[in-house]
Every structure is written in structure tokens, then in C-alpha cells.
Amino acid sequence: MHKIELFKDYENAKLDTVEEYRLRHKDATYRFEDICKKEIDGIPICVTKDKSGKLDVTFIPDSHVLAIGATRSGKTTGYVIPTLNILMKKKNKPNLVISDPKQELYSNYAEQFRQEGYDIKLLDFTNYSVSDCWNPLTKIFREYQKQFDVPELITRKRGLKKFFEFNGTEYDSYDDAEAAIREYKTACLDEAEKDLTSLCNMVVPVSPATKDPFWDCSARDLLHAILLGMLEDSGYDGDITEDNFSFDTVLRIFDSFSDSVSDVYDKGFFTNRSHQSKAYQLAGKCILEQAKNTRLCISSSFAAAISKFRDISIRRVTCTNTIDFETLDEGDRPTVIFLSYKDEESLHYEIISLFLSDLYTALIGVARKKNSKLDTPFYFLLDEFGNLPRFEDFDKVISACGGRNIWFLLILQSYAQLNNVYGRETADIIKDNLNVHIFFGTNNPQTKRDFSEECGHKTVISPISALNGKGESIVSYDKDTVALVPVSALNHIAPGECIITQMRENVLWSRIERSYNCPEFAPCGKKSELSSNKVVFSDPKYRYEIPQ
């Protein structure tokens, strides 16, 4: 009788049960009630009840995760709520940002996060009166201002020899020290310019599918020019300050422009500047030197791109900062940021996308200063990720973040969402960088076929193989290659079950208990009340008055 070893050189993917997986990873499973007592690295992959009803949790090392779950597939109760409850209980608590459009997670679990020692932040784009604030322009302003706050040049002597010290470095001559100061200022300006360019790309995106990108590119340049002009007006004792360097001011400046015959288009905002001004030069090329009809079309494109900031909640929330990204990896208290928004409004997805981009860019900068790695893991737990606009260079960002202790746990309804936003080629790269894929269920046939293919194949004896005369042994046989997890199986995943693929591991038919079946994941009973924002939005310091 032929043995199955004959198939060892053929397709031989394996499917693990939870028990088989845990047997091979004996040190990765903990009782839920003991998680708070131990420092545990990683994220949960199996959450099951034993015979006594106690929860056991199996962890895998920190990884980027892509979860596939259509509406009503149980991704919130079967993944989001169990995951956040487990992460908040860990002794080595991570920082998190959690998408929460309906504010259900904040209402039910913010108090438990608080009891676990977390600093709670709520960015609520539906109600600015209870929201924390975040100004995407503040970082740019501070980088630009560094050129005016140059470290002191110190003259020192060592015996009879005089030397100069600047920013911790010694120079033998004054000229060398002056050159270092100029280089320092240039570096500050370059950093501000880089961040400014990146922000303009996010606020005024140019789709690769656009047949005529001229209008969007010109609108992007106009935003760049206005922000440059605002920076130039900040200087020493300038009219622009950190408090009013915001999109509210951008809108006020743009609204002052006019194309009437008797007026100068920009009311002098650009044209009253020196011709050496970068703002003047950029504005001249992108709009001032254009014909009137062209200028009107560019203005229209610009108005459409920044219309999101006319929403009163967005305009107020982005006027100042109560969240300091630079300190999120500091101190004894971890931070959780809840993102509340109207999931039926595209402009809210646009602003959430801008916030997330600003956040992970800032975290990468913090990690770079700490020898490339954050001290505490930072998780982006983002439901409905496929509804967010395209992140610039996100395929590269994911790769960079993994080595810096920044992790993305992304939830999609189907792969089609990712393809639609990023294009198939870039979407494939993003999927490749998300090393763990969790399948809860989807209505998209192609996604099911693709996931089945990811699970691999196995070789079996063909049903047409021949038995001997008594039907007791095979006398000749053929081999068939079949899907390890066929599409038909993906159509019948029971509630609480999921299928997981991960690098260097067998496919896992896992179980993550639904939150409503686990008393351990139940809200504490005390709803988190919304407190009033302490920012006084009517304060004149946030308002820029257009010079007459």
C-alpha cells in the first residue's frame, strides 16, 4: 500500500486547529485574568473558553494585520472589542488610536481604559464642543520658527586659543561657526518645506486617473503659496502666530481674494511682497499670471479641495492642539485616541485620513530620534479602512512603521476596497506588508477566491484511483491538487471562528469568542460621559483679521 510520504514533494499546505497551534506554541497562551500580571509582547490571535468557561488568549509577535469582514460579519464583536479589551489589560500597555464612527466604543469602553491608567483623547468631528483639538499645521509652524530660535553661539578659550561652540559642537574659527548656523537655519526651513509639501499633497490630492491634472496641481500650488505667505508673515512679531496658523486663516485669506475688475485678485496678500519671496514667486506661476477664466477655474478647484475645512466642527477642531504627538511615547501613562466622525460623509473620511497621516508621520519622527524605535508599541486599530482616501506612499510607510514599533490593524470589507483606492499593483504591495490576514467573511467572490489561494493547496489521492478486487487497498492511483481551504468553506464560517494566514506558519482555523459571549469583555456599566472642550473658540488669538 502506498504511503502519503509519496506526496512530500507536492503541494502540502497544512491547516492547524487551535489545539494544534497551541501545542506548537506552548509559551504563547495566557489566561485572560493573568494578562495584567505579565509583560506580554504581541497581539491576540486565539481567544477561547476552556471547559470551566475561563478565557485563554494566544498571542503572536507584533505584526501588521489585515482583517476581512463584511458588514454584519461580526468584525466588531468578534475582533475589535476582544482585541482592545486584551490590549488594555496587558501589564505593558500599548498606545492606541481607534476608529469609532458611532462613538459606541468610546461610550462603552473609555471608562475601562481610564481605570487601566490610560489618558483618554476623543477627536470628535461631529461635535466640536466635546472634542479634543488637532491642528495639522502646527508642526510646520514650529519647524519654520526654529530658524528664529537659534542656539546661542558661545565664545570660549582653552589656554590662549579661542574657539566657538554652537549647538554642542566646537569650531576653530568664527566663519566655520557662522556657516554651521546658516546650515542649521537651512535645515529648519527644509524640514518645514518638506512637511508643507506633504500636507499639500494630502489636502489637494491629484488622482493618477485624472486626465488633466493641471487644475488640481495649480490648486495644490495655491495652497502651498498661501501657507508660505502665512509663514513669511510669522517672523519676528508677525501677524501670524502659532494660535492662528490654521486652516481657518487659510479660508479667511482665500475668501478675501476677488476677481472683480476694480480689485487686485489677491488684495495684496502676494503682490505686496518682495519679488524674492517664495510665496510671491509660486503664486505668480500658479495663479496671478494666469488669464482670468483660468484663474477662476483654479480657484474653483482650490475651493472644492479645502471645502472640508468649512464644516464648522472640522474648522473648530483643527484650530489648535490639545494632543501633542511628540509626547505620546513619553511618561508613565499610555494614551488611547478615539476617532468619532460621520461615516456617511466623505469629507469626514478625508479629514480622518489627514489626521492619521499626520500621526504616523510624527511617530516615525519620534522613533527616529530614539534610535529608530518607539519605547511603547503604537497600534492603529482602524475599522472601515477601505473607505479612507489614499495615503501617500502607504506601501512604503507600512514597511517603515513595522521596524519602529508602529503597527496597523486594518479592517476591510473586501480586497476590492483596497484595489479601488490604491490600484491593484500598490494594493498587492500593501497586502504583502500586512503579514497576518484574518478572514471573518465577505460577500465579494473575488476576495474569497484570492484568500482561498493564499491558504495554499494540498495533494490528495484522486477519487478515480483504483482499488483491488476486494476493495481493501489501492492498486493504482492518481494525484489531485486541491485548495486547503476551498471557497465553499469560506462561505460557512461559524460565528466566533476565523481563518488566519501568517508568515512562516500553517494556516490556522482559529476562534475568537464574540464579545457578547464573554463577561470579561462586557462594558463596566458606567458610560463615559462627554465633557466640554476647554478651548474657547471665540478667543481672538485664534482669529486672523485680514489687513485692510
Q: Is residue 52 part of a domain?
A: yes
Reported pTM:
0.89
Strand order of the β-sheet with 55-60 is: 29-31, 55-60, 43-49
Residue ending a domain, among 290, 312, 334, is: 312
Tell me the CA end-to-end span of the chain in Å, nearest whole number.
97
The answer to whether position 147 is within a domain reads: yes
Where is pLDDT greater, at 529 or 93? 93
Q: What is the mean pLDDT of residues 398-422?
A: 93
Task: Say if residues 63 and 80 touch (Cβ distance below 8 Å).
Answer: no
- Check residue 357 and give its pLDDT: 92
Percent of the chain with pLDDT strictly greater than 70: 92
Whole-Å CA distances, 487 to 451, 480, 492 = 8, 17, 9
Measured distance CA(335)–CA(332) in Å, rounded: 10
Residues 456-485 have a mean pLDDT of: 68
Contact between 188 and 144 under an 8 Å Cβ cutoff? The reply is yes
pLDDT tens, position by position, 367-395: 998 878 999 999 999 998 988 888 888 99
| 490-493 contacts at long range (C-beta below 8 A, 24 or more positions apart) | 490/439, 490/441, 490/448, 490/451, 490/452, 491/448, 493/439, 493/440, 493/441
Are 165 and 307 in a shared domain? Answer: yes
Beta-carbon contacts of 451 under 8 Å, excluding residues fewer than 6 positions away, are 68, 437, 439, 485, 490, 499, 501
CB 130 within 8 A of CB 533: yes
Share above pLDDT 90 across residues of the chain, in percent, rounded to a whole number = 64
Residues in Cβ contact with 281 at an 8 Å cutoff, skipping those fewer than 6 apart:
275
How far does CA 237 lie from the centroid of its chain?
A: 36
Mean pLDDT of 142-149: 90
Picking from 261, 294, 312, the residue at the C-terminal end of a domain is 312
Mean pLDDT, all residues of the chain = 89
Same domain assignment for residues 118 and 196: no
Residues 6+ apart with CB under 8 A from 266: 257, 283, 288
Q: What is the pLDDT of residue 440?
A: 95
The C-alpha atoms of residue 45 and residue 176 are separated, in whole angstroms, by: 57
**Cα–Cα distance for residue pair 477/481, rounded to 1 Å:** 13
Are 192 and 111 within one domain?
A: no
3-class secondary structure, 97: strand
Residue 10 lies in a domain: yes
Q: Between β-strands 507-511 and 15-16, what pairing exists: parallel, antiparallel or unpaired?
A: parallel
Query: Rounded CA gap, 183 and 409, in Å?
Result: 40
Same domain (yes/no): 145, 281? yes
The C-alpha R_g of the chain, in whole angstroms, comes to: 29
Quote the CA–CA distance of 243 and 379 in Å, as a whole number.
Answer: 30
C-alpha cell at 277: 519671496
Examine residue 71 and state whether it is found in any structural domain, yes or no: yes
pLDDT in tens, 500-544: 999 889 999 999 999 999 999 998 766 667 777 778 888 899 998
Instruction: Show the beta-strand stretches assigned E in 103-209.
Output: 119-124, 153-158, 161-166, 169-171
The amino acid sitting at 413 is: Q
Q: Do 171 and 109 lie in a common domain? A: no
Grid cell, residue 410, equals: 486594518
Q: What is the CATH number of the domain that holds 48?
A: 3.40.50
Domain residues for the domain of 106 are: 4-125+378-392+405-521
DSSP state of 519: G
Q: Are residues 299 and 198 part of one domain?
A: yes
User: Does a structural domain hold residue 219?
Assistant: yes
Do the domain assignments include residue 444? yes
Same domain membership, residue 154 and residue 66: no
What would the mean pLDDT of 174-197 be, rounded to a whole number? Answer: 92
pLDDT at 12: 81
Which positions ≥6 away from 489 have C-beta within 8 Å? none
Mean pLDDT of the region 164-190:
91
Same structural domain, 173 and 104: no
Residue 36 · residue 57 · CB < 8 Å: no
- Tell me, what amino acid is at 529? E
CA–CA separation, 408 vs 62, rounded Å?
10
* Same domain, yes or no: 60 and 88: yes
Q: What are phi and psi of 410, to 5 degrees?
A: -105, 140
At 110, is the pLDDT very low, low, confident or very high (cuts 50, 70, 90)? very high
Please report the pLDDT score of residue 355 as a whole number. Answer: 94
Which are the contacts of 73, defined by CB distance < 8 A and separation ≥ 6? 440, 441, 442
Of 274, 296, 312, which one is at a domain's C-terminal end?
Answer: 312
Confidence of residue 351 (pLDDT cuts 50, 70, 90): very high
Q: How far apart are CA 497 and CA 494, in angstroms?
A: 6
In three-state secondary structure terms, 16 is strand
Asked if residue 282 and residue 151 are part of one domain, the reply reads: yes
208-219 pLDDT per residue, tens: 667 788 999 999
For residue 71, pLDDT over 90 is answered with no
Q: CB within 8 A of 290, min separation 6: which ones? A: 218, 298
Same domain, residue pair 102 and 169:
no
Mean pLDDT, range 170-174, rounded to an integer? 90
Residue 476: predicted pLDDT: 56
Confidence of residue 465 (pLDDT cuts 50, 70, 90): low
Is residue 467 one of the residues assigned to a domain? yes
Query: Residue 25: pLDDT above 90?
Result: yes
Give domain status of residue 544, yes or no. Answer: no
Please tell me the total count of domains within the chain: 2
Could you report the per-residue pLDDT of 29-53, keeping only the tens digit for each?
999 999 999 899 999 999 999 999 9
pLDDT of 1 above 60: no
d(CA 336, CA 94): 9
Answer yes or no: is pLDDT of 152 > 60. Answer: yes
163 and 115 together in one domain: no
